[in-house]
Structure 1
Amino acid sequence: MLSLTRTWAVMSKEFVQLTRDRLTYAMILLLPIVQLLLFGYAINDDPRHLPTAVLVQDNGAFSRSILTAMNNSGYFDISVQARSQHELDRALERGEVQFAVIIPADFTERVVRGDAAQVLVEADATDPSATSGAVAALASLPTQALTRDLTGPLAARRPGSAPFEVVVHRRYNPEAITAYNIVPGLLGVILSMTLVMMTSQGMARERERGTMESLLSTPVRPLEVMVGKLAPYVLVGMLQAAVILVMARVLFDVPMSGGWLALILGLMLFIIGSLALGFLISTVAKTQLQAMQMSFFYMLPSILLSGFMFPFRGMPEWAQAIGVTVPVTHLLRVVRGSLLKGVGLENAGPSLFALALFVLVVGTLAMLRYRTTLD
């Protein structure tokens, strides 16, 4: 028979356990809230107000009308006025803009004569989903942008036809192959999942098994403990990265455009930073379960806010601000920039600096959190 007294005793014991393991149950409550906020507010498959650079070689009224129409579409945000083709290329390679627009010097003359006028739009197509909506919006630009300018005889010259043509050039991934974007991005996600979890659970496992006392009884300093424990995993991480890159080339034919020095340096910084983060988590978590939960809590923004699954520029500004603090975001920029664009150290500099800063901050916190006692 069911005994209410015994059942109540078990329930009381569980409530007491809840108060003792506050970290675990706090995460159980926080995870659904964070997921709801991220999916509800931060995720957007149709990014708008994409940064755009323009090179206007024809300063006539037609050119101004075209730029105004692009701005009013809601997809383009003209943020860079380039003075040369080199500046446009550099802005695209560094990822500062998503689109580059070129209006040639003879544009007005060709429109007036009805002589196949063209506007060139170059898109950073490393992430096809980030540009598809904006490219589709360009289809209506030739028929709508100059409706107020072409009146009278100018409108009568080409009845029923568009006054100019928009030529779209998708750079770095002209065929819009999704694997070219997803497979390099998996490099950061896989390294995060394995390295952070392995390291965070390592010391937690030693604490549970009682082997931590032996380590703490030695004169080993915190820095020596961290370096000694993380060094083998650095080699594991580099081996994982090499395997993923080889498979990306052999199985998915992902282009390898160059930029190997920036790629290797970015991977090294990211691997060391991920291991240091795992070490930091292990100094906070008391059990392997807590270490795994805290690692998963870190992985959630790494996947959703880094630009791996959803366009980074499609997120609101507050979500982008959080995403910039996630190291996976900067590794993805280095990896995709190196493999698809062939960028070197100069163009990858901001992301490499962010990864180096992450290593410094997390490594320092890990050493400060490390205790020479088990209390």
Structure 2
Amino acid sequence: MARDAGDPRFSWGRVLAVLRKEFLQLRRDRLTFAMLIGVPLLQLMLFGYAINADPRRLPTAVVAAEATPMVRAVVRAAEHTGYFQVVQVPTEGEAEALLARGEVQFVLVFPSDFTHRLLRGERPALAVYADASDPAAAGPALNALLTLPRQALWRELTGALAPLRPGAEPFELRVHRRYNPEGLSAYNVVPGLMGVILTMTLVMMTAMAMTRERERGTLENLLATPVRPLEMMVGKILPYVLVGYVQVLLVFAAARQLFEVPMAGSFVLLSAAVLMFILATLAVGFTFSTLARSQMQSMQLTMFYFLPNILLSGFMFPFRGMPRWAQWIGELLPLTHFNRMVRGVMLKGAGWEALAPEAAAIGAFMLAAGAVALLRYRQTID
């Protein structure tokens, strides 16, 4: 053996021995092996099927006091573009409330005398209210909507009803971009960065906290103390709550001073949303710390969790542009609901009533993740 170890010649036998050892070690490290297979498959599924920068069939509220053939033709033409999924709403106030809560993306309001003025050649105005907080979601649909005056009524306005001037548009569109009238992407991206930064940093730091104890051999000392699992989790989490608030304050200050993002709502409500999201995120990190056996595994689990959060939460790509199954997954992620809360408070001035469903979703996730973390920690003690 000593002579073989000192042999200066290249040996494929020694290479194969090392190769066999590496494969055996990889097989024993099941979590790492799962990440090597799972991450590429996840990326393939998300980028191949779930990501769509041109969302279609966006919910659109239509307010029309009359149901004439002219009105139906305009609504039908809007649906045929593929960008609008129309629902009838009785009043303009109710439609704008849906727009503020994010339940619809657009509102079309026909004047009560739309058909009468149209037949008189007076070019009535069709009001369009768009939730422009995400310019990527609203932009293509608005561009498609601009073709309606020229194409929607070409069958109805023939003969004596045809416009006197060739090429004239029989009605006009008055587009009102709500919450982001200038279409600035920073208004959508910068508030979303709060949740993205918290997810990336807090999950990783919390996940590595317990595995660091295990690698250094101090976990056994902690297990020998009378500290209960809930007390351990609270003690590990509380320092990072302060860290999370510091990060949020830095992003908020940059949003206000550098990017001039408006703050239309309550800062107290925003702080409450941040606290809920921080606790939910830290519960996930604590769960990962009970699953991983090394800091490297903690980082792998963090990245595996971070990837669908950043892609399916509506931060990078329009949420309504994703297929239905991807939206269902996105609804399970706390970052999706936190982004809605932050943008709702900062851009729309949303109150607690509008944010309650999102807060309930984050609270349910937090309780579920905390229960799993406590259960896993008890198994570690046993």
Normalising by the smaller structure, the TM-score range is over 0.9
Aligned-residue offset at 1:71: 0.9
* 2:129 alignment counterpart: 122
Q: What is the identity, as a one-letter code, of the residue corresponding to 1:203?
A: M
Aligned-residue offset at 1:264: 1.8
Aligned-residue offset at 1:372: 6.2
* 1:197 alignment counterpart: 204
Inter-CA distance 363–156: structure 2 relative to 1 (3 Å threshold): closer
Aligned-residue offset at 1:266: 1.4
Aligned-residue offset at 1:219: 1.3
RMSD: 1.2
Distance in 1 (CA, whole Å) between partners of 2:380 and 2:126 is 68
**Pick from 343, 346, 350: which aligns with 2:357?**
350
* 1:12 alignment counterpart: 20
**Pick from 105, 108, 131: which aligns with 1:98?**
105
Distance in 1 (CA, whole Å) between partners of 2:304 and 2:366 is 19
Counterparts of 1:66-85 in structure 2, within 5 Å, are: 66-79=74-87, 81-85=88-92
Inter-CA distance 214–50: structure 2 relative to 1 (3 Å threshold): same
Distance in 2 (CA, whole Å) between partners of 1:316 and 1:302 is 16
Do structure 1's residue 32 and structure 2's residue 40 form an aligned pair?
yes
Distance in 1 (CA, whole Å) between partners of 2:372 and 2:360 is 18
- Alpha carbons 1:125, 1:173 under 8 Å: kept: yes
Distance in 2 (CA, whole Å) between partners of 1:111 and 1:157 is 12
Deviations 1:119-147 (A, max 9, x none): 11111000000011110101210111111
Distance in 2 (CA, whole Å) between partners of 1:156 and 1:217 is 88
- Alpha carbons 1:216, 1:372 under 8 Å: kept: no
Deviations 1:153-174 (A, max 9, x none): 1115443201101111110000
Deviations 1:301-345 (A, max 9, x none): 111111101111111111111111111100000000100000010
* 2:293 alignment counterpart: 286
Do structure 1's residue 179 and structure 2's residue 186 form an aligned pair?
yes
* 1:369 alignment counterpart: 376
Deviations 1:82-129 (A, max 9, x none): 222221121111110110110010111111111121111111000000
Deviates more, 1:4-13 or 1:214-223: 4-13
Distance in 1 (CA, whole Å) between partners of 2:223 and 2:116 is 80
Do structure 1's residue 237 and structure 2's residue 211 form an aligned pair?
no
Q: Secondary structure at the match of 2:162?
A: helix
- Alpha carbons 1:110, 1:116 under 8 Å: kept: yes
**Pick from 31, 54, 78: which aligns with 1:46?**
54
* 2:143 alignment counterpart: 136
* 2:214 alignment counterpart: 207
* 1:109 alignment counterpart: 116
Aligned-residue offset at 1:374: 5.8
Deviations 1:24-75 (A, max 9, x none): 0210111111111111111111111001111112322211111111111100
Q: Percent identity?
A: 55
Distance in 2 (CA, whole Å) between partners of 1:156 and 1:274 is 60
Q: Secondary structure at the match of 1:77?
A: strand
Counterparts of 1:142-181 in structure 2, within 5 Å, are: 142-181=149-188
* 2:10 alignment counterpart: 2
Aligned-residue offset at 1:262: 3.1
Structure 2 gap segments, 5+ residues each: 1-8
Inter-CA distance 339–373: structure 2 relative to 1 (3 Å threshold): closer
Inter-CA distance 196–16: structure 2 relative to 1 (3 Å threshold): same
**Pick from 249, 260, 265: which aligns with 1:258?**
265
Counterparts of 1:281-320 in structure 2, within 5 Å, are: 281-320=288-327
Inter-CA distance 288–374: structure 2 relative to 1 (3 Å threshold): farther
Aligned-residue offset at 1:232: 1.2
**Pick from 217, 226, 234: which aligns with 2:233?**
226
Q: What is the identity, as a one-letter code, of the residue corresponding to 2:344?
A: G
**Pick from 339, 342, 365: which aligns with 1:335?**
342
Q: What is the identity, as a one-letter code, of the residue corresponding to 1:49?
A: R
Q: Secondary structure at the match of 1:370?
A: helix
- Alpha carbons 1:213, 1:374 under 8 Å: kept: no
Deviates more, 1:144-153 or 1:189-198: 144-153
- Alpha carbons 1:199, 1:275 under 8 Å: kept: yes
Structure 1 gap segments, 5+ residues each: none
* 1:268 alignment counterpart: 275
Q: Secondary structure at the match of 2:34?
A: helix
Please report the TM-score for the alignment, with normalisation by the length of structure 2.
0.96
Q: What is the identity, as a one-letter code, of the residue corresponding to 1:141?
A: L
* 1:59 alignment counterpart: 67
* 2:4 alignment counterpart: none
Aligned-residue offset at 1:229: 0.9
- Alpha carbons 1:119, 1:164 under 8 Å: kept: yes
Inter-CA distance 118–373: structure 2 relative to 1 (3 Å threshold): closer
Q: Secondary structure at the match of 1:121?
A: strand
- Alpha carbons 2:290, 2:380 under 8 Å: kept: no
Q: Secondary structure at the match of 1:134?
A: helix
- Equivalent residues, number: 374
Distance in 2 (CA, whole Å) between partners of 1:114 and 1:262 is 50
